[in-house]
Amino acid sequence: MLDNGRISSIQLSMLLFMTEAPTAILFPPSIIAEQAGPDAWISVLVPISLYGFIVALICIALARRYPKQVFTEYLPDIVGWLPGKLLALVYTLVFIHIASFILAECSLFIRTAFLRETPSLPVVMIILIAVVYGVFLGIEVIARHNELVFPLFILSMFLLIVLVANNIDLNNLRPVLAKGFIPVLSGSYQTAIFRGEIFILLMLFPYLNQKTEAHKSVMTVMIMMMIFATTIIFVTIGVFGPLVTSQLTFPYYSLARYISLAKILEQMELYLVIFWMAGIIVKLAIFLHSACIAAASTFNFRNYRMTIIPIAIISTVVCEALYSTNYLNFINFFKNIWPLYGLSFELIVPGIVLLVAIIRRKGLTSSAQTKS
Amino acid sequence: MFEWLFRGMKKSLKNTRTKNPAAYGSRSQTESRETSSELDQNNTVLKEIFDHCDVLVVHEFSLGNIDSIRSMLVYLGPLVDQDMLQKNLMGSLLNVNEVPKNNISDWLISRIIPSGEARKENIWERIANDIAAGMVALFINGENFVILLPVMEDLKRQISQPVTETTARGSQSAFNEDIRTNIALLQKRLPTTRLALKNFKIGELSKTEISMIYLKGYVKQELLEEIEERLNRIKIDGIPESGYLEEFIQDNPWSVFSAIDSTERPDRLAGHILEGHVGLLINNTPFALILPMTLVSQIQSPEDYSNRYWFSSFIRLLRWGALLFSALLPSFYISVISYHQELIPLPLLLSIAVSRERIPFPGFLEALIMELTFEILREAGVRIPKSFGQTISIVGAIVIGQAAVMAGLVSPIMVIVVALTAIASYTIPSSSLANSVRILRFPFMIAAAFMGLFGMIVGVSIISYHLCSLRSFGVPYLSPLAPLSYGDLKDTLIRAPAWKMNLRPRLVGGLEPQRQHKNLKPGPSDNRTKIIQRRIRGK
């Protein structure tokens, strides 16, 4: 194993929550609202969560066959050396791509919330300083850092919901299921991929110190995400109505701006965004760490740390060239390519690999897993 | 990837390091010899060893009234208690009438010399070292051995009040420079045979005595071995102070934060030893080291446990807030002034704008000037002789506060920010943590000047990552918080009632987890409640 850190099941839960939550509240609410209208919360509650559970179950089943290796390490063992290595390389690129994509989201959001006249590149570079440092220190440190960030993140979200709660108009959420299930499903299709980011579990599983608790901790995360995302979209649509929500770029930010309590607690959005920022730094660190581990294991490096800087530079370049300077490209990718792209790498490829592993009897069988 | 680049560098570094291994404490050839039985020969060797030492006293006398033997007492004049030497030692030596033919030194130790710590020695090196340390050497003609006995002058001051760690309620005694006094202070608080004391001597020339103190069975064996190994690894000429030792045994040599804490309070050290920490007492300094140390422990003050827990919890929370304040307030001010004016309520914004109208500097420069000025003032306050103390307060208050505002150099609100920051940093009980935070304030200010709140978050994240990566002798520096252990949270952000804290911190005192009995919550005992219930029923 390239990173000999050890994380507990609670730390894993918190990490996985942080890989999902910060971006799940950024763009998806408006996209879902556009498709599903007032039923957006049903879309988040049922189909998206279902997708998340399926991805999580497949990933756990696959990861438990190789409890001491990350996904890219055991791929060659399952599907053969050459295809395995190629697939591992593809996954490395996918992680880099997702990292650069998150960077673009982050940079866009920061330039909306904090620094309206700053170009994207310095923002991306400065955020990467923190992220690269975290990745350099290893997964154990990221997990511990996240233990500090997680409660603050939850607290900030709780505050947000409580402070805008008096503005919720339940009429915005009616009629329920007026057009049947089709809009609900089409809304979930475009954004389920965010929930499926839990597939990063494939790269985090070997660090877990008690493998038997994997199911419990991952299911906890999925249930937490289900509650969390549903609440956020419920509140957003309750406050703004489906039409306005679908037009907003950052519904979460608009929601935070909406806070006004007795004319004293105004301009709260920056304080809340601070904790979102802390969360996204953790999320980026997890993806960048996975990208580095994937690259190092694909090319058989002994130390993953030497891949950090090159990968950070690559993701900066990808982010700058493709997304952060070209908002249309970004949105296009989001709405049209990302769903299929994500679906294939989160669900289909791991699913096929799992099938192959079962058929070829690779890795630990289920009886051996319970023993270990 | 770049290993080839460093390889050459490492080699050249190694060469320079190993060139002269014994340079820090060279010794001459003569000292490893043994003493001879001839008194005159010994005398010449002595003269040779203590060549440049004019305070060496060689007192020749004859031992025994019948068949007297030539003898001499050798000591360093200033170090020896003359009174005791003349009255006790010389008195009993000169009263000897008859001397046995052989084994004079054994006979003297067992029958004549009024000291339990006298011993025989025949290696010149050790004898010379002991004389240099203040012992008296007794040479006897015809004897191979020299008797060494301690008649040292008591050069210690009274036990006084702690200077840097004051508390309103609690023990008022502090360690002083004498290690024996310090050990006694500790032993008085923990009079148990489980209190283990292990002595080291570090420093080729200073031979500083260091005592490792812990409770037997409460500290993991690996931790003790690790500490011993790190202490024994130190090869140095002298240890001037505990801070010097600290840097040699630290886990994170490059970090701003010190994962070892120092204290001058015996009660604080005793409390930590009870939790399963290890204390290091160092001779000639009133500051003892505590290890392993966590950030949370550095926020705790001994007073927290003597005050009521509601109040202590409130103070704890206040202190955590002050910690954040002293690190982040100036940078927050800079980012609000330069980037996020919308965060300030409108009336306040107007008054700030008016007061800043005349200021020629941007927010960052203004803050930097004031912070640096304050640091200079604080440093001067430490150095300045006490009789000039008034001067500095006048200069600080009037010149730098009032006049700078009047002259239009800084805005009044900046003075408030700096003052608040300064006061906040004094609430942190551990001075090493306070100093780390004091330094970190400047990078945060720079980050805020470049990127506003965003820069601050990135900075805080970096520091948080760094803190999470720190370890102190195997214990994570942020330990009950990250990694989280729920049971230990009772004594972190708040302080739980004493009868609730039944267990020791898991990572430090895990070997003997139970600190006290369960169900110690005061209240009517079971027996009494039964009686009361019976009475009620009877009525």
Contact between A114 and B454 using a beta-carbon 8 Å cutoff: yes
| DSSP calls for B374-408 | HHHHHHHHHHS-GGGHHHHHHIIIIIIIIIHHHTT
Taking the C-alpha atoms of residue B349 and residue B411, their distance in angstroms, rounded to an integer, is 13
Instruction: Answer yes or no: do B464 and A110 touch at CB < 8 A.
Output: no
Q: Which pLDDT score, from 0 to 100, does residue B31 have?
A: 59
Q: Would you call A274 and B476 a contact, using CB atoms and an 8 Å cutoff?
A: no
The C-alpha atoms of residue B314 and residue A181 are separated, in whole angstroms, by 53
What was the ipTM of the complex prediction? Answer: 0.93
Distance CA B276, CA B194 (A): 12
- State which residue of chain B sits closest to A117, comparing Cα positions: B339
Distance CA A129, CA A122 (A): 11
Helix (H) or strand (E) segment spanning residue B147: strand B146-150
Q: What confidence score (pLDDT) does residue B506 get?
A: 83
Q: Which of residues 282-341 of B touch A (CB under 8 A)?
A: 339-340
The pLDDT score that the predictor gives to residue B17 is: 47
Q: What is the pLDDT of residue A262?
A: 64
Q: Give the pLDDT confidence of B153-171 residue by residue, as tens digits.
A: 777 788 888 888 888 888 8
Say if CB B137 and CB B148 are below 8 A apart.
yes
Q: Considering only the beta carbons, identify the residue of B340, B453, B468 that sits closest to A145.
A: B468
Q: In chain B, what residues touch A281 (CB-CB under 8 Å)?
A: 457-458, 461
Residue-level pLDDT at B326: 92
pLDDT of residue B25: 47
CB A311 within 8 A of CB A295: yes
pLDDT at A119: 87
Domain ranges of chain B: 29-150, 179-293, 318-539
Nearest to B461 among A122, A144, A281 (CB): A281
Residues of chain B with pLDDT under 50: 1-2, 5, 8-9, 12-26
pLDDT of residue B162: 87
Q: What is the pLDDT of residues A283-336, one digit of tens each?
A: 999 999 999 999 999 999 888 889 999 999 999 999 988 877 777 888 888 888
Contact B484/A at CB under 8 A: yes
- Identify the pLDDT of residue B8: 47
- CB contact (8 A) between residue B468 and residue A274: no
DSSP state of A213: G
Sort out which chain A residues have CB atoms less than 8 A from B458's CB and list them. 126-127, 129-130, 281
Contacts across the A-B interface (CB distance below 8 Å)? 85
Nearest CA in chain B to A270: B343
Query: Is residue B445 within 8 angstroms of chain A, CB to CB?
Result: no
pLDDT at B29: 53
- Cβ-Cβ contacts under 8 Å, B481 against chain A: 147-148
Q: Which of B340, B451, B476 sits opposite A270 (nearest CB)?
A: B340
**What are the domain boundaries of chain A?**
9-366
What is A9-366's CATH superfamily?
Answer: Amino acid/polyamine transporter I (1.20.1740.10)
Contacts of A278 in chain B (CB under 8 A): 457, 460-461
Q: Does B451 touch chain A (CB under 8 A)?
A: yes
pLDDT of residue B539: 55
B121 sits in which H/E element: strand B119-121
Q: How many Å lie between the alpha carbon of B470 and the closest alpha carbon of chain A?
A: 9
pLDDT per residue, tens digit, chain A (372 aa), is 688 888 999 999 999 999 989 888 888 888 888 888 888 888 888 888 999 999 999 999 999 888 888 889 888 988 889 999 999 999 999 999 999 989 998 888 888 887 888 888 999 999 999 999 999 999 999 999 999 999 999 999 998 888 888 888 888 888 888 777 888 888 888 888 888 889 999 999 999 988 888 888 999 999 999 999 999 988 999 998 888 888 888 888 888 888 877 666 667 788 888 899 999 999 999 999 999 999 999 999 888 889 999 999 999 999 988 877 777 888 888 888 888 888 899 899 999 999 999 998 887 776 666 555
3-state SS, residue B80 = strand
Q: How far apart are CA B402 and CA B515, in angstroms?
A: 54
CB < 8 Å to B466, chain A = 133, 137
Interchain proximity A129–B458, CB inside 8 Å: yes
Give the nearest chain A residue to B462 (CA atoms): A130
